[in-house]
Amino acid sequence: MSIDSQSSSEFTPEEVAELVKLSTPKHVAIIMDGNGRWAQAQGKPRVMGHRAGVKAVRRVVSTAREMGIDSLTLFAFSSENWRRPDKEVTLLMELFFTVLQREIKLLHKNGVRLNIIGDISRFPERLQKQIASAEAKTADNSELILNVAANYGGRWDIMQAAQTLAKKVESGEMNSSQFTEEALNEHLCMQNQPEVDLMIRTGGDFRISNFILWQAAYAELVFTDTLWPDFDENAFRQTVAIFASRQRRFGLTGCQIESMQAQK
Ligand code: IPE
Ligand code: IPE
Ligand code: MG
């Protein structure tokens, strides 16, 4: 597996365990890309790739739980994906519906709280209802928060928060000096969750495709050539180990970080 341009060799399972223990990301976000190419490479229709992708979702959810990650955010459908052929969009909606129906019991049993982020008002009504009931059923779970980004766009998220605040200013509920970074934060999706520590993109491309922007301002990025349906538990653990092996500086110097760590 070729992962991350900066490290060509894999970590051993012992190294992975050691690194993950040292620094587990609280919030991991994944751009699950490459389903279509995975299917096409096998001469199958693209939709087979989306179906195979569901298995990979199951694997990362259970691995995230095992690793003690608090929030896992998966990019399932972007605000730009409506541009795909109608047939593919319809199939994706159907798949979303059946997967929700099928998986919710197991998610609930495993203590996973499901949270859909994105503008779901454009989805078929029965899907919207299904989402509401799945969220309500799992609302009190605390093992892992699983955010599924559906009709999500990073710009949309920032805009909807800004619009809510603008309306509050307009109605006199707050004044414009209260329109601060913190106030905007409070109106974004996932406002009560840690910011994204690690953002992974499978499928070989190096872009964010309008996924989480604001909340990923200081995320570590890991890109892998592995196509989403092939992204297995080992691949996921490797990316988390890459995260843990990096020095996050948040604007400070490396020396400052080292002396802070020495004082701990
Ligand atoms: C990602 O896989 C899943 C969705 C966008 C729904 P793609 O469908 O984009 O797969 P590729 O990139 O065409 O291989
Ligand atoms: C990003 O993948 C969206 C999801 C994974 C849901 P795309 O395949 O849509 O991204 P682009 O179009 O290649 O940037
Ligand atoms: Mg793609």
Return the CATH number at 118.
3.40.1180.10
Instruction: Confirm whether 189 is domain-assigned.
Output: no
Instruction: Confirm whether 5 is domain-assigned.
Output: no
Residues with beta carbon inside 6 Å of ligand 2?
31-33, 75-78, 81, 205, 207, 209
Q: What is the pLDDT of residue 19?
A: 92
The answer to whether 225 is a known catalytic residue is no
Instruction: Confirm whether 236 is domain-assigned.
Output: yes
Q: What is the pLDDT of residue 7?
A: 55
Say whether pLDDT at 5 is over 50. Answer: no
- Ligand 2 atom nearest 205 alpha carbon: 13
Instruction: Confirm whether 77 is domain-assigned.
Output: yes
Q: What is the mean pLDDT of residues 163-174?
A: 98
pLDDT tens string 117-146: 999 999 999 999 999 999 999 999 999 999
Centroid of ligand 3 to alpha carbon of 228 (angstroms): 10
pLDDT tens string 181-220: 999 999 999 999 999 999 999 999 999 999 999 999 999 9
Domain of residue 128 covers: 13-157+195-263
- How many domains is the chain partitioned into structurally? 1
Instruction: Confirm whether 144 is domain-assigned.
Output: yes
CB 259 within 8 A of CB 251: no
Instruction: Confirm whether 3 is domain-assigned.
Output: no
Centroid of ligand 1 to alpha carbon of 182 (angstroms): 34
CA 255 distance to own-chain centroid: 32
Q: What is the pLDDT of residue 9?
A: 80
